[in-house]
Amino acid sequence: MESKKRVAYFYDPEIGSYYYGPGHPMKPHRLRLTHSLVIHYGLANLMEVYRPRPAVERELQAFHADDYIHFLKSVTPDNKDEHLEQLRRFCVGEDCPVFTGLYRYCQIYTGASIGGAVKLNYRNADVVVNWMGGLHHAKKAEASGFCYINDIVLAILELLKHHARVLYVDIDIHHGDGVEEAFLATDRVLTVSLHKFGDGFFPGTGDLHNCGQGRGKGYSVNVPLKDGMTDEAYTFLFRPVMRRVMEIYQPEVIVFHTGADSLAGDRLGAFNLTMKGHADCQQFMLQFGVPMLVLGGGGYKINNVARCWAYETGRILGQELGDELPENEYQDAFAPDFRLHPPVRAEVENLNTREYLQQLLSKLMANLSRLRPPDGVPFAERPPDTLSADEVEAQQPPRGHLWDGTPAADADSGSYGGARGRGARVDMAADSGADGPDMHGRAGEGGGNAVARPLKALALNGGSLVGAPPGRDPAALLRAMR
C-alpha cells in the first residue's frame, strides 16, 4: 500500500567521498550504496529529494563551543601537528581522526538534519529522512565515537522553536549519550535509548537508573541490554515502553535515530536484529502519525547498512521492495547473493534472558508511571528561525523537477534559500561514482585494510551545557522557552 505521507529525503552526493582513514570502521561510502539502492528501487519518484545547504558556523554555535568549531574548521591532516594541545582537548585523533574535508563533512550532514527540522517546523513534510545524520556521540566541545558535530542536538534545538515537546528515540547499539546529555535537565525533550550496556562497551553510559536531572528527571529513558538481542526480545521491550511514552508524553514531533549497528552481523555490534525487526521499530513509531525526522547513525557492515536504510526508506513510503536487488553502481558490494534480505545468522548468543527482560520492563514502566503528563509548555520567547517562512516557501521545488546539477553555494557565505539553498534538489540519478570508492584507495568492505578498530571508552565530560557563551547556551534557550 502506498503511503499518503509526504516524505522529504536529504542527500548530498559529496558525502560518500569523505574518508576517515585506512581501517577505520566508519565509511561514509555506505551512504552512496544506500542512495544507489534508493534510486534504483525507484523510491526517489515517491518523495521529494533535496540536497542540503551545508550548515554555517552560526548554526553550529547553537550547541558547540566556538573554539571547538574553529578548531574543526582549521585543522587538516597537514597542519594537525601544530594543534597537539587542541587535538587532546577536543578528543580528536584516534576514534575521531582528522581527515581531508572534515569540517565540510560536518556541515553537510548537519545542514541536512537542521534543514529537515525546518521542513517539519513548517509542516512541509510528514517524515524527513537524512541517512547522513545521526552522529549522536558528539559533545559540546568534544568529538566522540566517530562523531564531531552533533546534528541531532542541533536539529532538536531547531524543532524546539516550534514544538513544545520532542521525543528522541535511538535504536543504535550504542547509547545516545551526546543527545541525552544535552537535554538532561529539560522536560521538553524526552530521550529513549536502547543499547548494549556493560562489559566496557562504548560509551559506557546509559544505565537504567540514569534518568535525567532537575526538571528533566525522568525524561531520559535508558534501556540497557546485553549481547544477542533478537527481534522478539527487542519488540517485547520496545512496544510497551514506547506506547506508554507516547501516551504520557504526547510529543509533537519525533526524532528517530536508526543506527544500523544493532543489526545482526555488524562489525562493532553484538545484536541479532534482522532488518525487518529493525524497521518494525520505526514503523511502530510512525503509526502514531506524529511528524518524524529519521536519521542514520552507526552501522559498520556497509552493504547491510545500505540494504537496511533502503528497505526502511521503502517501508516509510509504504513500498515493499523486491528481494532481488536492482542493478546498481555498487553491485559487487552485495555479492554473493545480491538480495535485499540475505539469510541472517544469529551468531551471538542471546544473553537477555526472559527474566532479565521482564524485570527490565517492569522497572521501565514503573519509572514512566512517575512522569507527570505534559502541561502545555508556554513559549516565553521564540528564537528566530533558521529560515524564514518565505524562504522555506521559495525553496519548494515543483514536483518532478530535477536539480540542475549546480554545486551548492559556498557554505559560509551566509546566503539562504534559492535554488541552491538548503532545499536545492539533488540529482535524482544516483551519483555516478566518478570520484567513486576507489578515489581513496578503498572499496568499502572488501578493502585490504578493513580491520575494525575497537571504540575506546571515553570518560563522560563534565556536562555539555556548562560554560557556553551567553546567548548561545542551549540551556538558556530552553529556559527562555519555558
Please give the annotated binding residues for a divalent metal cation, written as ranges: 172, 174, 261
Binding-site positions read: 95, 145, 172, 174, 261, 300
Among 172, 177, 312, 391, binds Zn ion (CB under 5 A): 172
Residue 261 touches Zn ion, criterion: CB under 5 A: yes
Q: How far is the CB of 404 from Zn ion (least distance, A)?
A: 36
Residue 30 touches Zn ion, criterion: CB under 5 A: no
Q: How far is the CB of 225 from Zn ion (least distance, A)?
A: 13
Residue number with CB closer to Zn ion (174 or 422): 174
Q: How many residues bind Zn ion (CB under 5 A)?
A: 5
Q: How far is the CB of 329 from Zn ion (least distance, A)?
A: 27
Residue number with CB closer to Zn ion (206 or 298): 298
Contacts of 393 (CB under 8 A, 6+ apart): none
Contacts of 250 (CB under 8 A, 6+ apart): 165, 373, 374
Residue 196 touches Zn ion, criterion: CB under 5 A: no
Stretch that binds Zn ion, among 16-24, 46-54, 222-230, 260-268 (CB under 5 A): 260-268
Contacts of 241 (CB under 8 A, 6+ apart): 192, 221, 223, 361, 364, 365, 368
Q: How far is the CB of 56 from Zn ion (least distance, A)?
A: 28
Residue number with CB closer to Zn ion (95 or 158): 95
CA of 12: how far to CAs of 18, 170, 235, 371, 478, in Å? 12, 23, 33, 40, 31
Q: How far is the CB of 81 from Zn ion (least distance, A)?
A: 30
Residue number with CB closer to Zn ion (158 or 266): 266
Stretch that binds Zn ion, among 92-100, 153-161, 255-263, 465-473 (CB under 5 A): 255-263
Residue 301 touches Zn ion, criterion: CB under 5 A: no
Residue 134 touches Zn ion, criterion: CB under 5 A: no
Residue number with CB closer to Zn ion (163 or 174): 174
Residue 142 touches Zn ion, criterion: CB under 5 A: no
Q: How far is the CB of 368 from Zn ion (least distance, A)?
A: 25
Stretch that binds Zn ion, among 86-94, 171-179, 333-341, 437-445 (CB under 5 A): 171-179
**Could you tell me the three cell numbers for 25?**
570502521
Residue 176 touches Zn ion, criterion: CB under 5 A: no
Inter-residue contact 92 to 70 (CB < 8 Å):
no
Cα–Cα distance, 414 to 145 (Å, whole number) = 30
Binding-site positions for substrate read: 95, 145, 300
Residue number with CB closer to Zn ion (54 or 259): 259
Which amino acid appears at position 218 of this protein? G
Contacts of 424 (CB under 8 A, 6+ apart): 50, 51, 53, 395, 403, 406, 408, 418
Residue 266 touches Zn ion, criterion: CB under 5 A: no
Among 298, 423, 437, 444, binds Zn ion (CB under 5 A): 298
Instruction: State phi, psi for 82 to the nearest 5 degrees.
Output: -85, -5
Instruction: Give the residue from 161, 151, 76 showing the smallest Cα distance to 107.
Output: 151
Residue 170 touches Zn ion, criterion: CB under 5 A: no
Check if 35 is active-site. Answer: no
Residue 312 touches Zn ion, criterion: CB under 5 A: no
Q: Partners of 324 in the beta sheet?
A: 339
Stretch that binds Zn ion, among 77-85, 214-222, 258-266, 414-422 (CB under 5 A): 258-266
Contacts of 406 (CB under 8 A, 6+ apart): 419, 420, 424
Catalytic residue among 24, 40, 83, 137: 137
Q: How far is the CB of 172 from Zn ion (least distance, A)?
A: 4
Q: How far is the CB of 215 from Zn ion (least distance, A)?
A: 29
Residue 259 touches Zn ion, criterion: CB under 5 A: yes
Please write down the HEC assignment for all residues of 80-132.
HHHHHHHHHHCCCCCCCCCCCCHHHHHHHHHHHHHHHHHHHHCCCCCEEEECC
Stretch that binds Zn ion, among 179-187, 256-264, 301-309, 317-325 (CB under 5 A): 256-264
Residue number with CB closer to Zn ion (111 or 269): 269
Cα–Cα distance, 264 to 449 (Å, whole number) = 22
Residue 174 touches Zn ion, criterion: CB under 5 A: yes
Q: What are the catalytic residues?
A: 137
User: Which residues contribute to the site for Zn ion (CB under 5 A)?
Assistant: 172, 174, 259, 261, 298
